[in-house]
Amino acid sequence: MVFMKKVLLYLALALTVVVCMCACVSTNADFASATPATGKTASFSYEHDPRLNPEAMKDIVGNPDAVYGFSPDPASTRLGSYASYDWTDPAFVEQARQERIGYHDSMQTMTDIVDKMTKDGASMEEITRAVSAERNRLRLAVYDDNPEGLAEVKKSNLATYGHEDGPTADELFVKYGSWEVVMQKAFSPNLGMDACCGLYDIYFDQYVQLGLATY
Quick one: three-class SS letters along 117-171? Answer: HHHCCCCHHHHHHHHHHHHHHHHHHCCCCCHHHHHHHHHHHHHHHCCCCCCCHHH
pLDDT mean over 34-41: 40
| Residue 85 forms part of a structural domain | no
In this predicted structure, the answer to whether residue 24 has a pLDDT above a threshold of 60 is no
| Residue 54 forms part of a structural domain | no
| Residue 92 forms part of a structural domain | no
Of the pLDDT bands very low, low, confident and very high (cuts 50, 70, 90), residue 115 is: very high
Q: CA dist 99 to 64, 143, 154, 169, 171, Å? A: 23, 8, 16, 25, 27
In this predicted structure, the answer to whether residue 31 has a pLDDT above a threshold of 70 is no
For the chain, what percent of residues have pLDDT higher than 90?
63
| Residue 202 forms part of a structural domain | yes
What is the pLDDT, as a whole number, of residue 74? Answer: 97
User: The domain containing residue 193 runs over which residues?
Assistant: 2-36+101-209
| Residue 31 forms part of a structural domain | yes
Sheet strands (E) in the chain:
60-62, 70-72
| Residue 27 forms part of a structural domain | yes
- How many domains, in total, are found in the chain? 1
Q: Give dist(CA 43, CA 65) in Å, integer.
A: 10
| Residue 194 forms part of a structural domain | yes
pLDDT mean over 140-152: 87
What is the pLDDT, as a whole number, of residue 32? Answer: 38
What is the pLDDT, as a whole number, of residue 146? Answer: 86
| Residue 214 forms part of a structural domain | no
